[in-house]
Amino acid sequence: MRNRVDSGQLAAMDTECHQTTNSPFGIVAGDGELPFLLAESILEHFPKRPIVFIPITKSSARLAQQRLPTIISIFPLGIGQVEKVTKTFQKQNVKEISIIGKVEKNRLLKPLHFDTTALKIIARSRHGGDQSILASVLNHFEAEDIRVLPQIQYLGDFFPTAGVLTKKQPTQLEWQDINYGLCLARSVADLDIGQTVVVKNRMVLAVEAIEGTDSAIRRAGDLAGKGFTVIKTAATNHDFRIDTPTVGRQTLEIMKTSGAKILAIEAKRVLLIRPSELVELADKYRIQIIVAEQASKKVNDSKN
């Protein structure tokens, strides 16, 4: 089920990076599995490349000490310590980084421990939403001669192509929910609201906002009971350097307890954490995982 990076992709990656694969690579790590998958992938593809790992949450700092090999340099800092993060990378001669992992959006509303640089970034972006803040962070690093790479650069294995990953095929009515939900989710993402919608019989049960995907799924379960569809995608012009829509085991567990029957994601634009394990668990829970191409119809057309 896992889409391996083929030899052509690896060759292209190596061509692009051949001058820098022995120079340190930086990881700014939020919560979750992704920062560690990224570190594993870099070591797998380029074992001689040093990694400078900066966890910016308590959870990622704790897990870094437990899970990362000793060859990786770890510098725990806070989410609002942008200046210290920058100086750490510069001191370690890091020219390329990835910003990856979950950071709760509501922490941006409580900047009590943010340094001057972080406060300036938030002030410049305060009317543009969270994507605008992330884009400003990216621009800050680029201005300091630190290139921020798309997360897919080393995680192409985890972005599945179109297909039904689980055993059961969707019915025609279920496909209607999936296509409608994809159109709606794209519209919601384009408005910088969220990346997930939950539907049942082409009725919208929940739209992800600042509370996150898992809370939206729970809310849908409270409203509709069993048999709904969860759809996740990315905005039309989504910048994969600063965020990657992601689904992992925790979301699948919440779908099971909430009564969801289908998870639909957009092909090549949503990351599945450890896809083979996720598909096996979904079959066990009788949840379908569908990877679909973005429907071209408008939302109103999809309801007809």
CATH number for the domain spanning 174: value is 3.40.140.80
The span from the CA of 44 to the CA of 95, in Å, is 20
Whether 127 and 150 share a structural domain = yes
Domain membership of residue 232 (yes or no) is yes
Is the model more confident about 21 or about 180?
Answer: 180
Q: Give yes or no for a contact between 18 and 88, defined as CB atoms under 8 angstroms apart.
A: no
Q: Which of 155, 181, 213 is the last residue of a domain?
A: 155
**Do 131 and 227 fall into the same domain?**
no
**304 located within any domain:** no
Number of structural domains the chain divides into: 2
Query: Is residue 158 very low, low, confident or very high in pLDDT (cuts 50, 70, 90)?
Result: very high
Q: How confident is the model at residue 29 (pLDDT cuts 50, 70, 90)?
A: very high
For the cut 80, the answer to whether the pLDDT of residue 27 exceeds it is: yes
| Higher per-residue pLDDT: 297 or 292 | 292
Domain annotation covers residue 2: no
- Amino acid (1-letter code) at residue 199: V
Confidence of residue 118 (pLDDT cuts 50, 70, 90): confident
Confidence of residue 287 (pLDDT cuts 50, 70, 90): very high
Q: Are residues 125 and 186 in the same domain?
A: no
pLDDT in tens, 45-95: 899 999 999 999 999 999 999 999 999 999 999 988 999 999 999 999 999
Residue 16 backbone phi and psi in degrees, to 5: -70, -35
The pLDDT of residue 11 is: 40
Other C-beta atoms closer than 10 Å to the C-beta of 244 total 23
CATH number where 131 lies: 3.40.50.20
Give the model's pLDDT for residue 31. 92
Number of H helices, E strands in the chain: 12, 13
Phi, psi of 260 (to 5 degrees): -70, 150
d(CA 92, CA 45): 21
Last residue of a domain, one of 155, 185, 213: 155
Q: Is the pLDDT of residue 100 over 50?
A: yes
Range of the domain at 169: 160-296
Last residue of one domain, picked from the residues 126, 155, 184: 155
Residues 213 and 238 in one domain: yes
Percent of the chain with pLDDT over 70: 85
Higher pLDDT, 174 or 11: 174
Residue 2 has pLDDT above 50, yes or no: no
- pLDDT tens digits, residue range 201-248? 999 999 999 888 999 999 999 999 999 999 999 999 988 887 889 999
The whole-number average pLDDT for the span 263-281 is 96
In the structure encoding, which two tokens stand for residue 225, read together?
């009971």
What's the rounded mean pLDDT across residues 144-148?
Answer: 95
| pLDDT confidence bin for 278, thresholds 50/70/90 | very high
Tell whether 149 and 247 lie within a shared domain.
no
Residue 141 and residue 189 in one domain = no
- Picking from 244, 245, 251, the residue whose alpha carbon sits closest to that of residue 278 is 251
Q: What is the tens place of the pLDDT at every residue in 178-198?
A: 999 999 999 999 998 999 999
β-sheet bridge partners, residue 200: 203
Answer with the residue of higher pLDDT: 5 or 183: 183
Residue 22: phi and psi, rounded to 5, are -100, 0
Report residue 295's pLDDT band, with 50, 70 and 90 as the boundaries: low
Task: Tell whether 53 is covered by a domain.
Answer: yes
Number of other CB atoms surrounding residue 6 within 10 Å: 10
* pLDDT for the residue numbered 112: 59
